[in-house]
């Protein structure tokens, strides 16, 4: 697929306006435009021109020196959006339209035969990404359970925003030697899954659905997530090995006797390792701030969901897994093979991520590889995917992750020993400097 160009950005705006009118009426659109017209016409141009053209290059931030114009604009827009949340952008329906238009415009070039199927039944909602010519076979050698992060907090990720990204990841997995990759993206709803006691049971039920539907004896499972989705992935890992008292009470009727299967590997992209963070150590490059993290945390774990302070204390090590320092629980929950942890050097939470990785590897003896991307910000993989001007820069994270998964899982897969399997490609990119 072609890179995400300025015409695609304009398309997102136009479709967002159309969606606003269809769902909320013309007056809602007028109010939204009036509330943001000063920022779009004065503040945004000023910030952009100052960073890119007025401020001498040596005095620009390390991120600004590396970033494209689109990334600088996106960072400023995200800062505005996360503070005010007054606009109706980054919506699931809008990105579904955008994906359909981009695929039609390019005739599906670069996406192979991979398609998307939406499931919404029995409390499970999400998107399957699959190869149309391989889905009839049940022998999936790798299934990725990808929990999307959200610009509105925990459990509010937009699955459609990841469809194109993960479709290309599936193609890269084929190039690495996997025979039949499959990806599931759980799609929670803000109205029903907004707190810890709603999101985690939903993810457990979704994971149970994946295990029942498509997992065979030779299938290797990867739990992955980015941003807040990475935090939820860690919570899910702990809940699978030993559900917390509060969650056990919620799920006991239909999932208590289920035989859970731990994943072989974990892939985390910019996880929030301390959701209780109240101070900022950022150099001002990142769009995530301590205020934003605090707002997300208050929505995710409000006091109302706990009947006592002792209940909150017992659940703390689950809903804030990055601060769980119980080595026994991590040794019990650890994936069979290991973890791959990717983050940007200029993230607000970069120091938390490094400390957490050191704890898991040194104290819990979990085989873990850090992928610290210099001059990158929070959720760098998806940001680059939508803002880079060159395809190789746009898809570099996909090459890194598919290469890492091939090294971790490929030898154990049944497809790799098949005489018709492909040899891994581009594995050397895993060790190159991508800054």
Which CATH number goes with the domain that contains 395? 3.40.50.1820
Q: For 378-398, how does the pLDDT look when each residue is reduced to its tens digit (9 = 90+)?
A: 999 999 999 999 999 999 999
Q: For 73-91, how does the pLDDT look when each residue is reduced to its tens digit (9 = 90+)?
A: 999 989 888 887 655 567 8
| Owner of token pair 């952009």 | 48
342 plus 385 within the same structural domain = yes
Please tell me the number of Cα atoms within 13 Å of 33 on its side-chain side: 12
Asked, for residue 91, whether it belongs to a domain, the answer is no
Listed in order, strand segments (DSSP E) in 44-164 are 114-121, 124-131, 142-147
Distance, CA of 55 to CA of 355 (rounded, Å): 34
Secondary element (H or E) of residue 342: strand 338-344
pLDDT of residue 285: 86
Secondary element (H or E) of residue 268: strand 265-269
Listed in order, strand segments (DSSP E) in 65-171 are 114-121, 124-131, 142-147
Asked, for residue 1, whether it belongs to a domain, the answer is no
Residue 110's closest CA among 405, 395, 349, 305?
395
Asked, for residue 319, whether it belongs to a domain, the answer is yes
Asked, for residue 93, whether it belongs to a domain, the answer is no
Residue 258's closest CA among 307, 222, 215, 208?
208
181 plus 267 within the same structural domain = yes
Pairing of strands 265-269, 220-226: parallel
| Owner of token pair 């974990």 | 266
pLDDT at 243 over 70: yes
221 plus 173 within the same structural domain = yes
Secondary element (H or E) of residue 224: strand 220-226
Whole-number average pLDDT of the chain: 87
Asked, for residue 103, whether it belongs to a domain, the answer is no
Residue range of the domain that includes 40: 6-84
Q: For 199-239, how does the pLDDT look when each residue is reduced to its tens digit (9 = 90+)?
A: 999 999 999 999 988 878 788 999 999 999 999 999 999 99
Asked, for residue 420, whether it belongs to a domain, the answer is yes
166 plus 80 within the same structural domain = no
Query: Could you give the angle at the alpha carbon of 353 between the alpha carbons of 347 and 357, nearest 5°?
Result: 150
Describe the strand order of the beta sheet including 142-147 as a list of residue ranges. 114-121, 124-131, 181-186, 142-147, 220-226, 265-269, 338-344, 368-373
Structure tokens at 398: 């996909």
Asked, for residue 104, whether it belongs to a domain, the answer is no
147 plus 191 within the same structural domain = yes
Residue 10's contacts (CB-CB under 8 Å, 6 or more residues apart) are none
Number of compact structural domains in the chain = 2
Structure tokens at 368: 């873990």
Query: What DSSP string describes 350-364?
Result: HHHHHHHHHHHHHTS
298 plus 399 within the same structural domain = yes
pLDDT of residue 415: 67
Question: What's the average model confidence in pLDDT over 332-352?
Answer: 93
Q: CA-based diameter of the chain, in Å?
A: 63
306 pLDDT band, cuts 50/70/90, is confident
pLDDT at 114 over 50: yes
pLDDT of residue 33: 87
Residue 289's closest CA among 300, 298, 281, 297?
281
127 plus 276 within the same structural domain = yes
Asked, for residue 101, whether it belongs to a domain, the answer is no
Strand, coil or helix: 80:
helix
pLDDT of residue 430: 47
Q: For 138-170, how does the pLDDT look when each residue is reduced to its tens digit (9 = 90+)?
A: 688 899 999 998 787 898 888 899 999 999 999
Count other Cβ atoms within 10 Å, centred on residue 137. Answer: 11
128 plus 243 within the same structural domain = yes
Q: For 411-430, how does the pLDDT look when each residue is reduced to its tens digit (9 = 90+)?
A: 776 666 665 666 666 544 44
pTM above 0.85, yes or no: yes
Residue 198's closest CA among 234, 155, 233?
155
């Amino acid at each position: 697929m072609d890179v995400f160009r300025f015409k695609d950005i304009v398309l997102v705006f136009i479709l967002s306006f159309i969606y606003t009118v269809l769902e909320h009426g013309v007056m809602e659109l007028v109010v939204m435009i009036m509330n943001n017209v000063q920022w779009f016409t004065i503040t945004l141009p000023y910030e952009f021109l100052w960073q890119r053209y007025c401020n001498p290059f040596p005095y620009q931030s390390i991120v600004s020196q590396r970033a494209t114009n689109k990334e600088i604009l996106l960072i400023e827009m995200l800062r505005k959006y996360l503070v005010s949340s007054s606009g109706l952008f980054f919506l699931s329906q809008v990105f579904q339209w955008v994906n359909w238009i981009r695929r039609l415009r390019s005739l599906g070039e670069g996406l192979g035969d991979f398609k998307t199927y939406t499931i919404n039944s029995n409390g499970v909602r999400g998107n399957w990404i699959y190869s149309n010519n391989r889905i009839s076979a049940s022998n999936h050698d790798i299934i990725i359970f990808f929990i999307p992060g959200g610009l509105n907090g925990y459990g509010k990720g937009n699955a459609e925003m990841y469809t194109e990204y993960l479709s290309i990841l599936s193609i890269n997995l084929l190039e690495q030697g996997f025979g039949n990759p499959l990806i599931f993206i759980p799609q929670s709803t803000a109205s029903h899954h907004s707190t810890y006691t709603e999101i985690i049971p939903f993810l457990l039920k979704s994971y149970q659905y994946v295990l029942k539907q498509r997992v065979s004896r030779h299938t290797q499972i990867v739990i992955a997530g980015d941003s807040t989705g990475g935090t939820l992935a860690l919570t899910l890992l702990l809940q699978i090995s030993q559900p917390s008292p509060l969650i056990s009470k919620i799920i006991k009727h239909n999932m208590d006797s289920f035989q859970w299967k731990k994943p072989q590997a974990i892939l985390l992209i910019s996880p929030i390792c301390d959701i209780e963070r109240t101070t900022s150590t950022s150099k001002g490059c990142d769009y995530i701030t301590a205020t934003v993290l605090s707002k997300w945390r208050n929505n995710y774990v409000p006091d109302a969901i706990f009947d006592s302070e002792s209940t909150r204390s017992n659940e703390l090590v689950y809903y804030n897994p990055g601060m769980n320092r119980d080595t026994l629980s991590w040794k019990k929950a650890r994936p069979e093979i290991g973890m791959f942890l990717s983050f940007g050097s200029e993230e607000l939470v970069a120091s938390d991520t490094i400390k957490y990785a050191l704890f898991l590897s040194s104290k819990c003896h979990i085989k873990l590889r850090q992928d610290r991307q210099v001059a990158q910000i929070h959720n760098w993989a998806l940001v680059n995917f939508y803002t880079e001007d060159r395809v190789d820069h746009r898809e570099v994270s996909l090459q890194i992750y598919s290469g890492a998964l091939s090294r971790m899982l490929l030898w154990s897969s049944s497809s790799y020993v098949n005489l018709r399997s492909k040899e891994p490609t581009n594995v050397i990119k895993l060790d190159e400097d991508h800054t």
